[in-house]
Amino acid sequence: MEKKIVYFEKTGRENTAACLQIVKDSIRDSGYKHLVVATTGGDSGVLFSEAFKGSGINVVVVTHCAGFKEPNTVELPEDVRQKILYSGARVFTGTMITHNIETAFASKFNGLYPTLIVAQSLRRFGEGSKVCCEIVMMATDAGLIPEGEEVVAVAGTGRGADTVLIIKSAVSKRFLDLKVLEIAAKPRG
């Protein structure tokens, strides 16, 4: 099998439109049924959910967990969440797999813990690659994506989208069953 991989020169939101086209082409060519998209402020979530409105694609938009930036806050504004839901997508806001209780211990005791090792290892392929793996597990843990399915995952570095991976889904309890099947796009740097 031969497939094209797009390598972006820079990270960030300037690649979002290209990622959307790559996702559209991947779904058209391979018939994927599930799309998981990371969003913080909601721009990517709105863009991708509106692009697949009425398509029959199961679109799951995953946000930062509550309190990620500061206590008692959710970064995704409620009006933006409603816009995503109106497009037929589902929104998941919950515990981030690689940014959980171990982060608190690492900050307090200057230690290194397995989840942080996994996160840093995945970041060798780029921040978006780490996030793609994470959001697929989060959506699968929440029952929004079936386990064992080939899923299109979209994430980025900072804001916007710059990474598209095809991942075989797994719940976090079975992290070792999660497989990155294809890299469709990622930043080179």
Q: What is the number of other CB atoms lying within 10 angstroms of the CB of residue 157? A: 24
pLDDT in tens, 160-169: 999 999 999 9
Q: What is the number of other CB atoms lying within 10 angstroms of the CB of residue 154? A: 30
Beta bridge partners of 160: none
**Domain range summary for the chain, segments of one domain joined by +:** 6-187
**CATH superfamily ID and name for 6-187:** Pyruvate kinase, C-terminal domain (3.40.1380.20)
pLDDT in tens, 70-120: 898 888 999 999 999 999 999 999 988 777 767 777 777 877 778 888 888
How far, in Å, CA of 127 to CA of 108, rounded?
24
Model confidence at 1, pLDDT cuts 50, 70, 90, reads confident
pLDDT in tens, 118-159: 888 888 899 999 999 999 999 999 999 999 999 999 999 988
